[in-house]
Chains A and B, each alone.
Chain A
Amino acid sequence: MKAVSVEEAVARIPNGATVMVGGFMGVGTPERLLDELVRQRKSELSIISNDAAVPGKGVGKLFDAALVSTLTTSHIGLNPNVQKQMMANKVAVNLVPQGTLVERIRAGGCGLGGVLTPTGVGTIVGEGKPKIEVDGKSFLLETALRSDFALIHAFLADYLGNLAYALTARNFNPVMAMAADTVIVTAENIVPVGVIAPDHVVTPAPLVDYLIANG
């Protein structure tokens, strides 16, 4: 793990990168990294996130600045900007059931090719996907998702990069921290090693590439 400035970390993200962003309706989202993506005008991004949040918050900021070309997500209903950009063919939106989305990311982070889920069988979500019978039950084969970068927000990070989360801000963060080539983390509190007890570490330090320093 390397401690870097937010400017330095975002400079490493090229235009057109695939980026997972932690958070749920903007809760547990690394806002400083998103603000910096907007400031550096990184464009043509492929974003993977649970939802599109709302304008002005979380990943919503990337759509306010029209920096996204593809969005893989479970919900865009509370962000009218995304819906407008989708209708105008400016953003391609792949809608994925939330439980399937998180399992595809988990699979990507765990070296699996995909998962078998009953969710979506017999609906338009299942169209064109392999259907597999196991013990007489139908499942869809949903393939794994990985990304170039994961932007993660933790509550606590220690100097090594061990992470702990708070309340409902955990959501997709620990799962995404497993599934990207480069993991960049912001934390509400940066603390000495040992402050997070081993039992309470959720994301182990070796998964973290860059921790955004305070200031």
Chain B
Amino acid sequence: MDAQSLIARRVARELRAGNLVNLGIGIPTLVANFVPSDLKVFFQSENGLIGTGPMPEQGMAHPLLTDAGGRPISALPGACVFDSAMSFGLIRGGHVDITVLGGLQVDAEGHLANWMIPGKMVPGMGGAMDLVSGAKRVIVAMQHAAKGKSKIVQKCALPLTSSRPVDLVVTDMAVIGFSGGRITLQETAPGVTVAEVMAVTEADLFIPASVPEMKI
């Protein structure tokens, strides 16, 4: 299995029946592909839709029904639409149970940086700051390292997305949590050892006595 599918598959296991879930672009979008068909979750698209469905079949797309990236989507039975004030009221008001976002860096305190690299990449934060500030549970889905450099750092060098720490980080090598305010290795990916995770993690990870293998 490729790294992105592995991450998405593991994140999908965090979703519970009835959850209102917001998926960011990139790896997070793939999570929807791995939700069991009998698990009823509501996906929000922050441009104003609850009940986001898969890409429509050829010829069935509607120009006024898109995801936050402007790509055609479908709406499932029971879907509803609303304006951006309500959409972010849902997000900021704690009505979104889980948000899954990509990341550039996550640090030992659980702080996420994912919206700019000063002087290099300034796309804007879009809805990311509101999502991290307001969702009940924040999950980061990202590669463990980029070009050999750890994305799990002791302290974020990049501008933070929020001062609110994230709840869980799922990478192609590990699942990392922050229970008790301590950055903790909770699981390793199939075929990856604890030593291998530590070797590509800059942050001082707490390693419990037993670290189970990721179930996917």
Contact = CB atoms under 8 A, between A and B. Distances in A.
Interface of A: 24-28, 50-51, 53-54, 73-78, 83, 86, 95, 97-100, 102-103, 106, 117-125, 155, 165-175, 202
A53 to B, nearest CB: 8
Interface of B: 45-49, 62-66, 68-70, 75, 81-85, 87-88, 91-92, 122-130, 133-134, 159-164
Contact of B129 (A76, A123, A165): A123
Nearest to A125: B129
Contact of B127 (A73, A98, A168, A174): A98
Contacts of A77: 123-124, 126
A25 B68 contact: yes
B64 A103 contact: no
Determine which residue in A100, A119, A122, A172 has the highest number of CB atoms from chain B within 10 A of its CB, and name it: A119
A121 B133 CA distance: 9
B64 A25 contact: no
Given A27-B66, A123-B160, A168-B45, A75 B82 contact: no
A121 B130 CA distance: 11
Contacts of B134: 99, 118-119
B129 A169 contact: no
A76 B126 CA distance: 9
Contacts of B65: 167-168
Contacts of B130: 97-100, 119
Contacts of B133: 117-121
**4 smallest beta-carbon distances between A and B, as pairs:** A77-B123, A122-B163, A99-B88, A25-B70
Contacts of A202: 83
A97 B127 contact: yes
A98 B134 CA distance: 13
